Amino acid sequence: MTTDIPANTTTDAPAPPPPPPDVRAIHLCINWRAGNTLPSCGEKGARELADALEAGLKARDLPFTFRRLHCMGKCHIGPTLKISHGGPFVMGAQEADVPRILDWLADKNFDALAEAFPLPRADKNIDA
């Protein structure tokens, strides 16, 4: 006995959706504190770092979204860069560090990036 199945019908279950792409975001504080009376990421070269990172990410066609932010609460040890989601803080990097930062990002070697630019072991803004 044969069963006729309409041509527009399938007997298989629908395929599951593909996994989300491995997309990450890079957040960099470029804040200048009012009156420049306290340390700030902007004062410590964050804007130059931002320009170089943005240009390097584009030139290498790396799959990261880049965002300039105004304060992550760590201006005293900045410039502050954060790899999201779940990636490390990168503290104190400068424009001259961009080529090796881009190399680590291309290799997804976030551990090396975190080791090269670590958060201090005791940070009153984190440990309080």
Question: Which pLDDT belongs to residue 82?
Answer: 92
What is the rounded distance in angstroms from the CA atom of residue 64 to the CA atom of residue 67? Answer: 10
Give the tens place of pLDDT for each residue, 64-79.
999 999 888 888 888 9
Give the tens place of pLDDT for each residue, 25-64.
999 999 887 766 778 888 899 999 999 999 999 999 999 9
Span 122-126, average pLDDT = 58
Overall pTM > 0.85: no
Average pLDDT value over all residues in the chain: 82
Query: If pLDDT is split at 50, 70 and 90, which confidence band does 97 have?
Result: very high
What is the rounded distance in angstroms from the CA atom of residue 99 to the CA atom of residue 96? Answer: 7
Span 81-108, average pLDDT = 92
Proportion of the chain above pLDDT 70, given as a percent:
76
Q: Report all structural domains of the chain as residue ranges with CATH numbers, in order of start.
A: 24-119 (3.40.30.10)
Span 112-120, average pLDDT = 90
